[in-house]
Amino acid sequence: MSAWFKNLSIFSLDSAWNITPGKLEETLIKHPLVPCNAASMQSQGWVAPHASSGLVYSQGKQMLITLGSQQRLLPAAVINQTVKERAAALEKNQGFAPGRKQLRDLKDRVADELRPRAFVREKSVRAWLDLEAHRLIVDSSSPKVAENLASVLRNDLGELPAIPLETQESAGAAMTGWLAAGSVSAQFALDQDCELVANELSKAAVRYVRHGLEGAEIRSLIQGGKTVSRVGLIWRDRLALVLTEKLEVKRLRFEAMDAKDPGAAGSGKSGKDSDEQFEANFTLMTGELTTLIDDLLGQLGGLKKD
C-alpha cells in the first residue's frame, strides 16, 4: 500500500498529550481486527499499516496506524424475498396469514440462516498521529468515518484529547473571499473546480468543473448572495486538492512528485526495496502535508482560541 494519503480529516491534539510508539503498539495489539464469524455481521480492529510493520509504523514523532473492518453484506431484498416465500408456505399449512409476531420471528430465523453465507466486505482507514504539530489526521473524506476512528482510538487508549480542527476564519468565508478576489496567495492558486450554495433554505448549488474560477460570472454569483462550499486549489505548484467549508481536504494529488518518483504511487517493489520506498514516501508525505496544513492555517487566521 502507498504511504500517500488521499484525504485529510484533521483533529487538533492537546499539546500536553503524548504517547510513545511502543505504548501505542501495546494498546492497539489488545484490539486487533477479528474476522466476522457466523454469528456476527461486522467487526473492527487494528491492522498493520505496512506489510512488514507492527500495528504502529513510526518515524520519530510521526506514527501511522490503520483501523480495519469487516462487514457481512446481507441485502434486505434477499431476506424479504425469502420471508415472503416462507410466509406463503406457512399460510398454506396453517390456513391463515401469519401475524406480525410470526413474521418478525420468521424474519429473524431467515437472517440467522443466511448470515453465514453473506459476502464479507473488508475496508481499512489510516490515521497519522503527528505529535510534533499535535494533530491527528485521518485519510478519509467522510466525517463519520474519521470520527469513528478517533472514537475507537479514544476508547482503546482511555483518553484522546482530539477535536476537529477549528480556525479563526471559517473556511467557507475565506474561500468566498478568494473567489471574489480571483486569487488566494503566494502559496495557493485557484484550480478549476468549485461549488457555490445559496444561503436560503433551498440550498441551491452551482458547480464548476474544469472551469476557470477568475471570471466575472462567479463574482456575480457571490454578489448575489451565494457562498463557496468547496474549491480546488494548487499548493506551491506541487499538490492539487479540494478544500471544503468544513475544513476537509479531499482529492489530494501529488502529481509533480509522482512524476519524479514513480514509487510515490506504489512501485510494485517487494521486500527491502518496498520497505525503503515506503519509508521514503512516508517521510516525504509527512513533511509536505505538515507544511500544507500550516499554510492553510495561515490563510485562515490560525487556530481558533478557546
Q: Are residues 33 and 47 in the same domain?
A: yes
Say if residue 132 is in the same domain as residue 213.
Answer: no
Burial of 102 (0-12, 13-18, 19+ CB in 10 A): middle
Helix 171-181 and helix 216-223, axial crossing angle in degrees, nearest 10: 130
Please, are residues 115 and 74 in contact by the beta-carbon 8 Å criterion?
yes
| Residues in a beta bridge with 242 | 232, 250
Note whether 91 and 127 are same-domain residues.
Answer: no
Same domain, 270 and 179: yes
Same domain, 36 and 132: yes
Q: DSSP class of residue 169?
A: S
Residues 192 and 81 in one domain: no
**Domain limit, last residue, from 133, 164, 195:** 164
Domain presence at residue 4: no
Claim to verify: residue 141 and residue 196 sit in the same structural domain? no
Residues 183 and 214 sit within 8 Å (Cβ to Cβ): yes
The three cell numbers locating residue 240: 492539487
Answer yes or no: is 3 within a domain.
no
Residue 277 region, left (φ>0) first, then alpha (ψ -120 to 50), else beta?
A: alpha
172-206 tens-digit pLDDT: 999 999 999 988 988 999 999 999 998 777 778 99
Closest to 148 in 3D by CA, of 49, 42, 242: 42
Closest CA to 167 of 73, 246, 113, 101: 246
Does any domain span residue 252? yes
Is 264 among the domain residues? Answer: yes
**Between the ranges 76-80, 97-101, 296-300, where is the mean pLDDT highest?**
296-300
Would you state the pLDDT for residue 305?
A: 79
Instruction: For residue 198, tell me if it sits in a domain.
Output: yes
Q: How many CB atoms within 10 Å of residue 187?
A: 17
Co-location of 153 and 14 in the same domain? yes
Position 129 in a domain:
yes
**The dihedral formed by the CA atoms of 180, 181, 187 and 192, expressed in degrees to the nearest 10:** 50
| pTM for this model (two decimals) | 0.82
Domain of 191, in residue numbers: 171-299
Least confident of 64-68, 243-247, 265-269, 301-305: 265-269
* Co-location of 58 and 151 in the same domain: yes
Domain match, 183 and 40 both:
no
> Structural domain tally of the chain?
3
Q: Let me know whether 25 and 133 are in one domain.
A: yes
Contacts of 218 (CB under 8 A, 6+ apart): 179, 194, 196, 208
Q: Per the domain annotation, does 306 fall within a domain?
A: no
**pLDDT tens column, 31-54:** 999 988 766 778 999 999 998 899
C-alpha to C-alpha distance for 65 and 282, rounded to whole angstroms: 12
Is 256 a residue whose pLDDT tops 60?
Answer: no
Q: pLDDT, tens digit, for every residue of 137-166?
A: 999 999 999 999 999 999 999 999 999 999
- Specify whether 198 is located in the same domain as 234: yes
Residue that is last in its domain, among 108, 129, 164: 164
304 in a domain, yes or no?
no
| Helix residue ranges, H only, 53-170 | 76-94, 100-114, 143-157
